[in-house]
């Protein structure tokens, strides 16, 4: 199962609202919602490798601790509230890959190896992580970028199609020893 984390920028939005700048907060919130709906739509149309579920990024620690979380519908409303019973799943999100974060000199957060950034969206991609939130490394297809010329929402389905194809290829022809380590939750 692939669990896609949808970032909300709640802290940024809250800070703008607390500062009385509701127009900026509303714009950020609308932009993030549009991006998240585009991500959901792209996965629902293009991803066939395994079951996919969606959560807000705020629920990541609860998911990892096997606490109650909210799985989301295609319109980002709660479809299910409970625990995930699958013992093996991978996390995915749209953000800055670990290498890009390190190149900027930033340290990754302790529980997530990617961060949201203010860099051009062309440097962001879909990142696949283990259950602990650590970005997987080659030869696993851990990062897929949208078309580098245009990272508009219309480019997201192509990136998901490539991710789907790379996962099928890796798990059907990739190194067996690496596949076993990933399934056991090791790097």
116 pLDDT above the threshold of 80: no
Cβ-contact 88, 53 below 8 angstroms: no
pTM (predicted TM-score) = 0.78
pLDDT per residue over 165-175, tens digit each? 999 888 888 66
- pLDDT at position 119 is 41
Integer angstrom CA distances of residue 41 from 26, 104, 153: 22, 31, 10
Q: Tell me the domain boundaries of the chain.
A: 2-183
d(CA 39, CA 126): 10
CA angle 36, 37, 40 (to 5 degrees): 90
- pLDDT at position 54 is 96
């Amino acid at each position: 199962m692939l669990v896609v984390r949808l970032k909300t920028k709640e802290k940024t939005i809250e800070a703008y609202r607390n500062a009385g700048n509701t127009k900026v907060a509303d714009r950020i919130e609308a932009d993030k919602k549009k991006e998240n709906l585009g991500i959901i739509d792209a996965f629902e149309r293009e991803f066939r490798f395994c079951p996919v579920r969606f959560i807000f990024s705020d629920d990541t620690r609860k998911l990892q601790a096997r606490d109650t979380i909210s799985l989301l519908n295609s319109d980002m409303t709660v479809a299910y509230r409970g625990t995930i019973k699958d013992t093996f799943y991978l996390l995915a999100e749209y953000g800055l890959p670990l290498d890009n974060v390190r190149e900027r000199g930033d340290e990754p957060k302790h529980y997530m190896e990617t961060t949201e950034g203010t860099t051009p969206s062309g440097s962001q991609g879909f990142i696949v992580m283990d259950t602990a939130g650590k970005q997987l490394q080659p030869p696993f297809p851990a990062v897929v970028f949208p078309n580098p010329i245009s990272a508009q929402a219309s480019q997201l389905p192509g990136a998901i199609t490539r991710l789907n194809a790379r996962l099928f290829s890796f798990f059907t022809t990739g190194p067996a020893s690496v596949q076993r380590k990933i399934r056991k939750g090791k790097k």
